[in-house]
Protein backbone atom coordinates (compact mmCIF):
# COMPACT_ATOMS: atom_id res chain seq x y z
CA UNK A 1 0.00 0.00 0.00
CA UNK A 2 1.05 3.63 -0.20
CA UNK A 3 3.44 5.17 2.23
CA UNK A 4 2.77 7.85 4.83
CA UNK A 5 5.30 10.42 5.94
CA UNK A 6 5.68 11.16 9.63
CA UNK A 7 6.05 14.68 10.93
CA UNK A 8 9.50 16.20 10.88
CA UNK A 9 11.31 16.00 14.15
CA UNK A 10 9.77 12.71 15.30
CA UNK A 11 12.29 10.10 16.32
CA UNK A 12 12.12 6.34 16.22
CA UNK A 13 12.31 6.15 20.03
CA UNK A 14 9.67 8.82 20.67
CA UNK A 15 7.12 7.31 18.33
CA UNK A 16 7.06 4.03 20.26
CA UNK A 17 6.89 5.22 23.86
CA UNK A 18 3.57 5.12 25.66
CA UNK A 19 5.05 7.24 28.41
CA UNK A 20 8.32 8.83 29.38
CA UNK A 21 8.84 6.53 32.36
CA UNK A 22 12.24 5.01 32.79
CA UNK A 23 10.81 1.48 32.87
CA UNK A 24 9.55 1.51 29.26
CA UNK A 25 10.85 -1.52 27.38
CA UNK A 26 12.66 -1.25 24.08
CA UNK A 27 10.23 -1.19 21.10
CA UNK A 28 9.44 -4.60 19.62
CA UNK A 29 10.41 -5.36 16.05
CA UNK A 30 10.19 -8.23 13.60
CA UNK A 31 13.61 -9.69 12.88
CA UNK A 32 16.36 -7.16 13.45
CA UNK A 33 16.40 -3.37 13.37
CA UNK A 34 18.88 -1.03 11.74
CA UNK A 35 19.44 2.66 12.20
CA UNK A 36 16.52 4.23 10.36
CA UNK A 37 14.77 0.99 9.29
CA UNK A 38 12.71 -1.65 11.07
CA UNK A 39 9.46 -3.64 11.05
CA UNK A 40 7.82 -2.42 14.31
CA UNK A 41 5.40 -4.62 16.23
CA UNK A 42 2.86 -3.30 18.74
CA UNK A 43 3.19 -4.37 22.37
CA UNK A 44 0.74 -7.05 23.57
CA UNK A 45 -2.41 -5.60 25.09
CA UNK A 46 -1.85 -7.59 28.28
CA UNK A 47 1.34 -5.62 28.93
CA UNK A 48 -0.19 -2.17 28.50
CA UNK A 49 -1.19 0.08 31.42
CA UNK A 50 -4.54 -0.38 33.10
CA UNK A 51 -7.12 1.77 31.40
CA UNK A 52 -5.72 1.32 27.89
CA UNK A 53 -8.88 -0.48 26.71
CA UNK A 54 -11.02 2.45 27.84
CA UNK A 55 -8.69 4.88 26.06
CA UNK A 56 -8.89 2.86 22.85
CA UNK A 57 -12.69 2.63 22.94
CA UNK A 58 -13.01 6.35 23.66
CA UNK A 59 -10.72 7.40 20.81
CA UNK A 60 -12.33 4.95 18.39
CA UNK A 61 -15.80 6.21 19.29
CA UNK A 62 -14.72 9.82 18.82
CA UNK A 63 -13.25 9.06 15.40
CA UNK A 64 -16.37 7.21 14.29
CA UNK A 65 -18.65 10.00 15.47
CA UNK A 66 -16.67 12.72 13.70
CA UNK A 67 -16.34 10.74 10.48
CA UNK A 68 -20.10 10.20 10.50
CA UNK A 69 -20.78 13.90 11.10
CA UNK A 70 -18.49 14.89 8.23
CA UNK A 71 -19.98 12.46 5.75
CA UNK A 72 -23.52 13.40 6.81
CA UNK A 73 -22.71 17.05 6.20
CA UNK A 74 -21.41 16.18 2.74
CA UNK A 75 -24.48 14.05 2.08
CA UNK A 76 -26.75 16.93 3.12
CA UNK A 77 -24.93 19.27 0.73
CA UNK A 78 -25.38 16.83 -2.15
CA UNK A 79 -29.05 16.20 -1.39
CA UNK A 80 -29.72 19.94 -1.29
CA UNK A 81 -27.85 20.39 -4.56
CA UNK A 82 -30.22 17.82 -6.03
CA UNK A 83 -33.17 19.75 -4.54
CA UNK A 84 -31.93 22.98 -6.17
CA UNK A 85 -31.48 21.27 -9.55
CA UNK A 86 -34.91 19.70 -9.25
CA UNK A 87 -36.51 23.03 -8.37
CA UNK A 88 -34.91 24.74 -11.39
CA UNK A 89 -36.23 22.00 -13.68
CA UNK A 90 -39.66 22.08 -12.01
CA UNK A 91 -40.04 25.85 -12.37
CA UNK A 92 -39.23 25.81 -16.06
CA UNK A 93 -41.51 22.88 -16.75
CA UNK A 94 -44.41 24.47 -14.89
CA UNK A 95 -43.94 28.00 -16.22
CA UNK A 96 -42.74 27.30 -19.76
CA UNK A 97 -44.14 23.84 -20.33
CA UNK A 98 -40.79 22.19 -21.02
CA UNK A 99 -41.00 18.43 -21.43
CA UNK A 100 -38.80 15.33 -21.12
CA UNK A 101 -36.64 16.33 -24.11
CA UNK A 102 -35.11 19.12 -22.04
CA UNK A 103 -34.16 16.67 -19.27
CA UNK A 104 -32.52 14.33 -21.77
CA UNK A 105 -30.51 17.17 -23.32
CA UNK A 106 -29.62 18.61 -19.92
CA UNK A 107 -28.42 15.21 -18.74
CA UNK A 108 -26.11 14.80 -21.72
CA UNK A 109 -24.66 18.30 -21.40
CA UNK A 110 -24.12 17.98 -17.65
CA UNK A 111 -22.36 14.64 -18.04
CA UNK A 112 -20.11 16.18 -20.68
CA UNK A 113 -19.36 19.15 -18.43
CA UNK A 114 -18.90 17.04 -15.25
CA UNK A 115 -17.67 13.63 -16.46
CA UNK A 116 -16.39 12.71 -12.99
CA UNK A 117 -19.88 12.94 -11.44
CA UNK A 118 -22.45 10.20 -11.42
CA UNK A 119 -26.10 10.92 -10.72
CA UNK A 120 -26.71 13.09 -13.77
CA UNK A 121 -28.70 10.59 -15.83
CA UNK A 122 -32.13 11.59 -17.18
CA UNK A 123 -33.73 9.21 -14.67
CA UNK A 124 -31.93 10.80 -11.73
CA UNK A 125 -32.68 14.33 -12.93
CA UNK A 126 -36.35 13.33 -13.00
CA UNK A 127 -35.97 12.08 -9.41
CA UNK A 128 -34.52 15.49 -8.48
CA UNK A 129 -37.50 17.22 -10.01
CA UNK A 130 -39.90 14.91 -8.11
CA UNK A 131 -37.90 15.35 -4.90
CA UNK A 132 -38.20 19.15 -5.08
CA UNK A 133 -41.93 18.80 -5.60
CA UNK A 134 -42.28 16.41 -2.66
CA UNK A 135 -40.48 18.84 -0.32
CA UNK A 136 -41.58 22.29 -1.56
CA UNK A 137 -40.16 24.14 1.46
CA UNK A 138 -36.37 24.23 1.09
CA UNK A 139 -35.79 24.91 4.79
CA UNK A 140 -37.73 21.80 5.81
CA UNK A 141 -35.98 19.74 3.17
CA UNK A 142 -32.61 20.90 4.48
CA UNK A 143 -33.48 20.19 8.11
CA UNK A 144 -35.14 16.83 7.60
CA UNK A 145 -34.78 15.17 4.22
CA UNK A 146 -31.09 15.99 3.73
CA UNK A 147 -30.11 13.61 6.52
CA UNK A 148 -30.91 10.53 4.47
CA UNK A 149 -28.85 9.16 1.57
CA UNK A 150 -30.16 9.92 -1.89
CA UNK A 151 -31.14 6.36 -2.73
CA UNK A 152 -33.35 6.26 0.36
CA UNK A 153 -35.23 9.22 -1.11
CA UNK A 154 -35.67 7.37 -4.38
CA UNK A 155 -37.39 4.58 -2.42
CA UNK A 156 -39.60 7.12 -0.61
CA UNK A 157 -40.55 8.84 -3.85
CA UNK A 158 -41.36 5.56 -5.58
CA UNK A 159 -43.49 4.14 -2.75
CA UNK A 160 -45.14 7.03 -0.90
CA UNK A 161 -47.30 9.92 -2.04
CA UNK A 162 -48.57 11.16 1.33
CA UNK A 163 -46.25 13.88 2.76
CA UNK A 164 -46.96 13.03 6.40
CA UNK A 165 -46.14 9.35 5.84
CA UNK A 166 -42.97 10.28 3.99
CA UNK A 167 -41.93 12.51 6.88
CA UNK A 168 -42.51 9.72 9.41
CA UNK A 169 -40.32 7.29 7.49
CA UNK A 170 -37.56 9.87 7.11
CA UNK A 171 -37.42 10.45 10.86
CA UNK A 172 -37.66 6.79 11.77
CA UNK A 173 -35.09 5.65 9.22
CA UNK A 174 -32.55 8.10 10.62
CA UNK A 175 -33.23 7.21 14.24
CA UNK A 176 -32.95 3.47 13.69
CA UNK A 177 -30.31 3.55 10.95
CA UNK A 178 -32.38 1.65 8.41
CA UNK A 179 -30.73 0.53 5.21
CA UNK A 180 -32.50 1.19 1.93
CA UNK A 181 -33.78 -2.41 1.82
CA UNK A 182 -35.13 -2.26 5.37
CA UNK A 183 -36.79 1.07 4.62
CA UNK A 184 -38.57 -0.50 1.66
CA UNK A 185 -39.69 -3.47 3.78
CA UNK A 186 -41.00 -1.15 6.52
CA UNK A 187 -42.96 0.87 3.96
CA UNK A 188 -44.43 -2.29 2.45
CA UNK A 189 -45.39 -3.44 5.97
CA UNK A 190 -47.08 -0.10 6.73
CA UNK A 191 -44.91 0.36 9.82
CA UNK A 192 -46.24 3.88 10.44
CA UNK A 193 -49.72 2.46 11.10
CA UNK A 194 -48.37 0.10 13.79
CA UNK A 195 -45.96 2.37 15.68
CA UNK A 196 -48.07 5.45 16.42
CA UNK A 197 -47.18 9.10 16.32
CA UNK A 198 -44.10 10.56 14.73
CA UNK A 199 -40.83 11.09 16.58
CA UNK A 200 -39.93 14.58 17.78
CA UNK A 201 -36.19 14.45 18.46
CA UNK A 202 -35.08 14.24 14.87
CA UNK A 203 -33.12 17.49 14.72
CA UNK A 204 -30.56 16.31 17.29
CA UNK A 205 -30.41 12.65 16.29
CA UNK A 206 -27.63 11.02 14.31
CA UNK A 207 -28.03 7.51 12.88
CA UNK A 208 -26.19 4.87 14.92
CA UNK A 209 -22.54 4.74 13.85
CA UNK A 210 -22.69 0.97 13.32
CA UNK A 211 -26.03 1.02 11.49
CA UNK A 212 -26.68 -0.09 7.93
CA UNK A 213 -27.65 3.47 7.03
CA UNK A 214 -24.29 4.84 8.18
CA UNK A 215 -22.47 2.13 6.24
CA UNK A 216 -24.42 2.96 3.08
CA UNK A 217 -23.66 6.68 3.39
CA UNK A 218 -19.94 5.92 3.59
CA UNK A 219 -20.15 3.86 0.39
CA UNK A 220 -22.59 6.01 -1.60
CA UNK A 221 -20.99 6.31 -5.07
CA UNK A 222 -22.93 9.48 -5.90
CA UNK A 223 -21.64 11.15 -2.75
CA UNK A 224 -17.97 10.41 -3.37
CA UNK A 225 -18.22 11.37 -7.02
CA UNK A 226 -19.82 14.62 -5.85
CA UNK A 227 -16.90 15.20 -3.45
CA UNK A 228 -14.30 14.29 -6.07
CA UNK A 229 -12.86 11.54 -3.85
CA UNK A 230 -14.49 8.50 -5.38
CA UNK A 231 -11.58 6.89 -7.19
CA UNK A 232 -9.08 6.73 -4.30
CA UNK A 233 -11.72 5.42 -1.93
CA UNK A 234 -12.90 2.74 -4.29
CA UNK A 235 -9.31 1.72 -5.07
CA UNK A 236 -8.62 1.30 -1.38
CA UNK A 237 -11.77 -0.77 -0.84
CA UNK A 238 -10.98 -2.99 -3.83
CA UNK A 239 -7.38 -3.43 -2.70
CA UNK A 240 -8.43 -4.44 0.81
CA UNK A 241 -10.94 -6.95 -0.57
CA UNK A 242 -8.29 -8.40 -2.87
CA UNK A 243 -5.78 -8.67 -0.05
CA UNK A 244 -8.24 -10.67 2.04
CA UNK A 245 -9.21 -12.90 -0.87
CA UNK A 246 -5.66 -13.63 -2.05
CA UNK A 247 -4.53 -14.33 1.52
CA UNK A 248 -7.23 -16.98 1.88
CA UNK A 249 -6.60 -18.34 -1.62
CA UNK A 250 -2.87 -18.88 -1.10
CA UNK A 251 -3.29 -20.49 2.30
CA UNK A 252 -5.98 -22.82 1.00
CA UNK A 253 -3.70 -23.96 -1.83
CA UNK A 254 -1.55 -25.82 0.71
CA UNK A 255 1.55 -25.27 -1.44
CA UNK A 256 3.88 -24.23 1.37
CA UNK A 257 2.67 -20.71 2.12
CA UNK A 258 2.85 -19.73 5.79
CA UNK A 259 1.11 -16.47 6.69
CA UNK A 260 3.38 -13.90 8.37
CA UNK A 261 1.34 -10.71 8.31
CA UNK A 262 -1.09 -8.38 6.56
CA UNK A 263 -0.51 -4.65 6.26
CA UNK A 264 2.90 -5.25 7.84
CA UNK A 265 4.29 -1.96 9.12
CA UNK A 266 7.74 -0.91 7.87
CA UNK A 267 9.56 2.22 9.03
CA UNK A 268 12.30 3.66 6.85
CA UNK A 269 13.61 7.02 8.01
CA UNK A 270 10.61 9.26 8.62
CA UNK A 271 8.33 7.30 6.28
CA UNK A 272 5.80 4.57 7.10
CA UNK A 273 5.02 1.79 4.64
CA UNK A 274 2.51 -1.07 4.87
CA UNK A 275 3.21 -4.34 3.07
CA UNK A 276 -0.07 -5.80 1.80
CA UNK A 277 0.73 -9.46 2.43
CA UNK A 278 3.85 -11.15 3.75
CA UNK A 279 4.26 -14.93 3.57
CA UNK A 280 7.09 -17.36 4.21
CA UNK A 281 7.32 -20.22 1.72
CA UNK A 282 8.36 -23.36 3.57
CA UNK A 283 9.50 -25.23 0.46
CA UNK A 284 11.36 -22.37 -1.17
CA UNK A 285 12.81 -21.22 2.18
CA UNK A 286 12.22 -17.58 1.43
CA UNK A 287 9.79 -14.76 2.14
CA UNK A 288 7.14 -13.81 -0.43
CA UNK A 289 5.84 -10.23 -0.58
CA UNK A 290 2.51 -9.59 -2.33
CA UNK A 291 1.35 -6.12 -3.32
CA UNK A 292 -2.11 -5.57 -4.79
CA UNK A 293 -3.27 -2.52 -6.74
CA UNK A 294 -6.78 -1.71 -7.91
CA UNK A 295 -5.39 0.45 -10.72
CA UNK A 296 -3.39 -0.27 -13.90
CA UNK A 297 0.34 -0.92 -13.64
CA UNK A 298 2.60 2.04 -12.94
CA UNK A 299 6.42 1.74 -13.01
CA UNK A 300 6.56 3.33 -9.54
CA UNK A 301 4.93 0.19 -8.15
CA UNK A 302 8.11 -1.75 -8.93
CA UNK A 303 10.24 0.74 -7.00
CA UNK A 304 7.93 0.47 -4.00
CA UNK A 305 7.96 -3.33 -4.12
CA UNK A 306 11.76 -3.28 -4.43
CA UNK A 307 11.93 -1.29 -1.18
CA UNK A 308 9.87 -3.98 0.56
CA UNK A 309 12.02 -6.81 -0.81
CA UNK A 310 15.22 -5.10 0.26
CA UNK A 311 13.83 -4.39 3.72
CA UNK A 312 12.66 -7.98 4.24
CA UNK A 313 16.01 -9.33 3.07
CA UNK A 314 17.87 -6.94 5.34
CA UNK A 315 15.73 -7.10 8.47
CA UNK A 316 13.80 -10.40 8.46
CA UNK A 317 15.70 -12.85 6.30
CA UNK A 318 17.72 -15.54 8.10
CA UNK A 319 21.24 -16.20 6.74
CA UNK A 320 20.03 -19.60 5.51
CA UNK A 321 17.00 -18.12 3.71
CA UNK A 322 17.05 -17.39 0.00
CA UNK A 323 16.27 -13.93 -1.45
CA UNK A 324 12.71 -12.69 -1.06
CA UNK A 325 10.25 -12.97 -3.97
CA UNK A 326 7.90 -10.15 -4.94
CA UNK A 327 4.52 -10.56 -6.62
CA UNK A 328 2.70 -7.45 -7.87
CA UNK A 329 -0.96 -7.88 -8.82
CA UNK A 330 -2.66 -4.93 -10.51
CA UNK A 331 -5.79 -4.33 -12.53
CA UNK A 332 -4.04 -4.33 -15.89
CA UNK A 333 -0.67 -3.61 -17.40
CA UNK A 334 1.13 -2.73 -20.61
CA UNK A 335 3.61 -5.50 -21.43
CA UNK A 336 6.36 -3.23 -22.74
CA UNK A 337 6.06 -0.86 -19.78
CA UNK A 338 6.43 -3.82 -17.41
CA UNK A 339 9.43 -5.07 -19.38
CA UNK A 340 11.17 -1.71 -19.14
CA UNK A 341 10.37 -1.38 -15.43
CA UNK A 342 11.83 -4.82 -14.64
CA UNK A 343 14.78 -4.79 -17.04
CA UNK A 344 18.14 -5.21 -15.26
CA UNK A 345 16.40 -5.53 -11.89
CA UNK A 346 18.23 -8.24 -9.97
CA UNK A 347 15.36 -9.20 -7.65
CA UNK A 348 12.76 -11.87 -8.53
CA UNK A 349 9.52 -9.97 -9.20
CA UNK A 350 6.39 -11.07 -11.05
CA UNK A 351 3.77 -8.64 -12.32
CA UNK A 352 0.25 -9.94 -12.93
CA UNK A 353 -2.60 -8.04 -14.51
CA UNK A 354 -5.82 -9.51 -13.17
CA UNK A 355 -7.92 -8.28 -16.07
CA UNK A 356 -5.58 -9.18 -18.92
CA UNK A 357 -2.60 -11.39 -19.68
CA UNK A 358 0.57 -11.51 -17.56
CA UNK A 359 4.16 -10.54 -18.04
CA UNK A 360 6.16 -12.79 -15.73
CA UNK A 361 9.81 -12.29 -14.80
CA UNK A 362 10.25 -14.88 -12.07
CA UNK A 363 13.10 -17.35 -12.64
CA UNK A 364 12.06 -20.72 -14.00
CA UNK A 365 13.28 -22.45 -10.83
CA UNK A 366 10.73 -20.59 -8.74
CA UNK A 367 7.64 -21.14 -10.83
CA UNK A 368 6.84 -24.71 -9.82
CA UNK A 369 6.38 -23.95 -6.12
CA UNK A 370 4.23 -20.83 -6.58
CA UNK A 371 0.64 -20.68 -7.83
CA UNK A 372 0.49 -20.40 -11.58
CA UNK A 373 -0.41 -17.11 -13.16
CA UNK A 374 -3.55 -18.73 -14.53
CA UNK A 375 -4.57 -19.73 -10.99
CA UNK A 376 -3.94 -16.25 -9.60
CA UNK A 377 -5.71 -14.46 -12.42
CA UNK A 378 -8.64 -16.88 -12.38
CA UNK A 379 -9.04 -16.36 -8.64
CA UNK A 380 -8.80 -12.58 -8.95
CA UNK A 381 -11.20 -12.60 -11.86
CA UNK A 382 -13.68 -14.47 -9.69
CA UNK A 383 -13.29 -11.81 -7.00
CA UNK A 384 -13.89 -9.01 -9.46
CA UNK A 385 -16.92 -10.62 -11.06
CA UNK A 386 -18.47 -11.46 -7.68
**pLDDT at residue 127, as a whole number:** 94
| Alpha-carbon 260 to chain mean position | 23
**pLDDT at residue 347, as a whole number:** 76
**pLDDT at residue 125, as a whole number:** 94
Q: What stretches of the chain show up as alpha helix (H) in DSSP?
A: 52-96, 100-113, 122-134, 138-143, 150-159, 163-176, 180-188, 191-194, 212-218, 221-227, 230-253, 299-315, 335-342, 364-367, 373-385
**Residue 26: DSSP 8-state:** P
Facing residues of 28 across strands?
A: 41
Residues 6+ apart with CB under 8 A from 241: 383
Q: Reduced to 3 states, what is the DSSP secondary structure of residue 289?
A: strand
List the one residue out of 84, 142, 129, 78 whose CA is nearest residue 103.
Answer: 129
**pLDDT at residue 209, as a whole number:** 56
Assess contact for 219 and 241: CB atoms under 8 A: no
**pLDDT at residue 199, as a whole number:** 41
**What's the CA gap between 114 and 225, in Å, rounded?**
10
Assess contact for 74 and 117: CB atoms under 8 A: no
* Degrees, nearest 5: CA angle 274-275-279: 150
**What's the CA gap between 216 and 155, in Å, rounded?**
14
Q: Reduced to 3 states, what is the DSSP secondary structure of residue 169?
A: helix
**pLDDT at residue 20, as a whole number:** 36
Q: How many CA atoms lie within 13 A of 201 on its CB side?
A: 6
Q: How far is CA 255 from CA 88, 247, 282, 292, in A?
A: 63, 13, 9, 20
Residues 6+ apart with CB under 8 A from 170: 144, 145, 147, 148, 156, 202
**pLDDT at residue 345, as a whole number:** 74
**pLDDT at residue 119, as a whole number:** 86
Each residue's pLDDT expressed in tens, for the chain with a length of 386 residues: 555 554 433 333 333 333 334 445 678 899 988 888 999 988 888 888 999 999 999 999 999 888 888 888 888 999 999 999 999 999 988 887 777 788 989 998 998 898 878 888 888 999 999 999 999 999 888 888 888 999 999 999 999 999 999 999 998 888 888 888 889 888 988 888 866 543 444 443 455 655 666 666 666 666 666 665 544 445 566 556 666 776 676 666 556 778 888 888 898 887 888 898 898 988 888 898 988 776 778 888 888 898 999 999 999 999 999 889 888 877 666 777 777 777 777 777 777 654 332 334 444 554 455 555 455 555 545 444 44
> Which domains can be identified in the chain, with CATH numbers?
52-228 (no CATH), 232-385 (3.40.1350.10)
Amino acid sequence: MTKAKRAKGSTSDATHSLSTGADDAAPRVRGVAREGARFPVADPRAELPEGYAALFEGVKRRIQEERLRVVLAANAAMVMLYWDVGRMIQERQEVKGWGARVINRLSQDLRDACPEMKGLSPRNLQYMRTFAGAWPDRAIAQQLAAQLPWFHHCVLLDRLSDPSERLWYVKTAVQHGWSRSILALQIDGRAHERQGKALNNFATTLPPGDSDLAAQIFKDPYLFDFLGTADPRREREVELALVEHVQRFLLEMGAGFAFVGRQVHLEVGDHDFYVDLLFYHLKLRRYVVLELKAVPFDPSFVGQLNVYLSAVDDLLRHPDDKPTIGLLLCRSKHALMVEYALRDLNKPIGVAGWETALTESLPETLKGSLPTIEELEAELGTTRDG
